[in-house]
C-alpha cells in the first residue's frame, strides 16, 4: 500500500499525518468521521514506531476499502517530533496537516484550514483558547496548564498565535525543512517549537478556532507528565527571547459561523 496513492489516484492536495501509539480503537472512529466530513483530496499517513503497535492491524483492515490510507514506519527515533518528520518525508501532498489520533474535533476544521492555505498562508494554526475555540476532555491539570501557558505566552512574548502549543497545524510541505526542528521527543513540544520558529522566519500565518475533543472515546488517557514542563519551558523562554521585540506577524483568521459572537 506504500505507493498506492501515487499509482491509483492523482496527487492529493493534503497529507494528514497522524503519529500513533496503540491507537487502533481510536483510529477506526477518527478515520470514518474524517472520510465523511473532509472535502479536500487527501491521503492519510499513520506513523508508528513499533511493529507491535495495535494501530497496524486496524489500518490494514481499513486499507481494503481506502486507497489513500498508508502506514509509515518511523525509523528516525521515538517521539512525536520524529513521527512528524517521517510523515512529512513520505507525504505526497502540497499541504501537510498534523493531528492526534485521540481528538476528533480538528476534523471539522480541516476544510476551513485548507481554505486559509489556499489564500496564501504558510502555516495555519488551530486555537482552543480564542475566538470561540474550546478544549474539552483530557486531565484537569494538563488542560489548565495548557490554557494558562498559552495565554501567558501570547500576552508576554508578542506571539501572533493564541495557541502555539497545539499540535493541530497545517503547513506547506516544501517549507517544513527550513525550520530545523530540534525539540526533545517529549509530548507535542515540537508543536510549540514549530509555531515559534515559523513566526521568527516570517511565515504568513493563519489561525482558526476549533473545539478539541480529547480522549472522549476509545481507550487510554492523556499521557501528559509534569516532567514535560522543562521542555515546554525551554521553548517558552526561547520564544520570549526571539519574539518579544519582533513586530507581531499578520494573521489571517477564519471564524466558523457557529463560533461567531
What pLDDT does 8 receive? Answer: 45
**DSSP characters over 104-167:** -GGGGGHHHHHHHHHTT-SEEEEESSSTT-EEEES-HHHHHHHHHHHHHHHHHH--S-S-TT-S
| C-beta separation of 223 from 100 below 8 A | no
260 in any annotated domain:
no
pLDDT value for 261: 57
Domain for residue 163, yes or no? Answer: yes
Q: Domain containing 241 — which CATH number?
A: 3.90.550.10
For residue 93, tell me if it sits in a domain.
Answer: yes
33-78, pLDDT tens digit by residue? 999 999 999 999 999 999 999 999 999 999 999 999 999 999 999 9
pLDDT digit string (tens) for the chain, length 261 residues: 444 444 445 799 999 999 999 999 999 999 999 999 999 999 999 999 999 999 999 999 999 999 999 999 999 999 999 999 999 999 999 999 999 999 999 999 999 999 999 999 999 999 999 999 999 876 766 778 899 999 999 999 999 999 999 999 999 999 999 999 999 999 999 999 999 999 999 999 999 999 998 765 544 455 556 678 899 999 999 999 999 988 888 999 999 877 765
Question: Taking the CB of residue 189, how many other CB atoms lie within 10 A of it?
Answer: 24
- Give domain status of residue 71, yes or no: yes
Domain that holds residue 171: 4-252
Instruction: State the cell numbers at 239.
Output: 520564544
Domain count for the chain: 1
In a domain, 261, yes or no: no
pLDDT at residue 1, rounded to an integer: 42
Residue 114 lies in a domain: yes
Residues with Cβ within 8 Å of 257's Cβ and at least 6 positions away in sequence, in order, are none
Amino acid at each position: 500500500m506504500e505507493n498506492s496513492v501515487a499509482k491509483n489516484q492523482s496527487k492529493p492536495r493534503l497529507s494528514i499525518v497522524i503519529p500513533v501509539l496503540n491507537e487502533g480503537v481510536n483510529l477506526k472512529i477518527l478515520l470514518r468521521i474524517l472520510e465523511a466530513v473532509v472535502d479536500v483530496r487527501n491521503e492519510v499517513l499513520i506513523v508508528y514506531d513499533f511493529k507491535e503497535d495495535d494501530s497496524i492491524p486496524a489500518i490494514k483492515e481499513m486499507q481494503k476499502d481506502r486507497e489513500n490510507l498508508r502506514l509509515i514506519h518511523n525509523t528516525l527515533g521515538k517521539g512525536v517530533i520524529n513521527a512528524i518528520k517521517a510523515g512529512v518525508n513520505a507525504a505526497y501532498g502540497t499541504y501537510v496537516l498534523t493531528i492526534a489520533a485521540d481528538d476528533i474535533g480538528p476534523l471539522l476544521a480541516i476544510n476551513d484550514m485548507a481554505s486559509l492555505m489556499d489564500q496564501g498562508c504558510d502555516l495555519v494554526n488551530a486555537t482552543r483558547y480564542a475566538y470561540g475555540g474550546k478544549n474539552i476532555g483530557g486531565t484537569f491539570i494538563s488542560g489548565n496548564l495548557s490554557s494558562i501557558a498559552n495565554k501567558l505566552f501570547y500576552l508576554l512574548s508578542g506571539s501572533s498565535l493564541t495557541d502555539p502549543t497545539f499540535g493541530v497545524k497545517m503547513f506547506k510541505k516544501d517549507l517544513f525543512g527550513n525550520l530545523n526542528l530540534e525539540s526533545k521527543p517529549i509530548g507535542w513540544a515540537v508543536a510549540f517549537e514549530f509555531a515559534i520558529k515559523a513566526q521568527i522566519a516570517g511565515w504568513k500565518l493563519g489561525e482558526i478556532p476549533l473545539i478539541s475533543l480529547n480522549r472522549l472515546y476509545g481507550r487510554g488517557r492523556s499521557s501528559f507528565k509534569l516532567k514535560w514542563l522543562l521542555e515546554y519551558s525551554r521553548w517558552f523562554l526561547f520564544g520570549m527571547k526571539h519574539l518579544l521585540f519582533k513586530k507581531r506577524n499578520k494573521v489571517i483568521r477564519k471564524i466558523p459561523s457557529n463560533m461567531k459572537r
